[in-house]
Amino acid sequence: MRETIVGERDSRLFQPDVLLPSQYFATLRRKQIQEPEKRLVVAILEDAVDCYRKHLFAREHKARQLFEDAESWIVAEDREWPFSFENICELLDLNPEYLRRGLLTWKEQQLAERSRGKIVHLQSYATSESDRARVA
């Protein structure tokens, strides 16, 4: 009988801890968020936004990959992973949809400006009468 009780106690001791995202964030949502955790999630969000904005027009593979990773993290509507965009925004009392929409709008504006900037009008400027006659 004693072996059974000790055996049960030992088996519970070595079982993995299961922590749901809601449980994890509940500990962080106290009135005063612990400073190290808050700094961590702010740093994650800042890094993603920086990579998204900085590498939008990147040509190098590594920089392009940083942009694509940031974009996929931002557009994912995932709440399962504790450090998802949705969970981090909510932890910081930010509306994830509002921030996502703002970033996507910024991207569209940048792409539109860049495409407008690539239109090149070539005109020939003739300097003399004979040059103008040849151009016409």
Residue-wise pLDDT for 62-119, tens only, equals: 999 999 999 999 999 999 999 999 999 999 999 999 999 999 999 999 999 988 876 5
Q: How many CB atoms lie within 10 A of CB 83?
A: 15
Backbone angle region of 24, left / alpha / beta, with phi > 0 → left and psi within -120 to 50 → alpha: alpha
pTM of the full structure: 0.61
Host H or E run for residue 70? helix 61-75
* Tokens, residue 80: 């399962």
Per residue in 45-56, pLDDT (tens digit) is 999 999 999 999
Sorted by where each begins, the domain ranges of the chain are: 2-135
pLDDT for 115: 87
CB count, 10 Å around CB of 51? 21
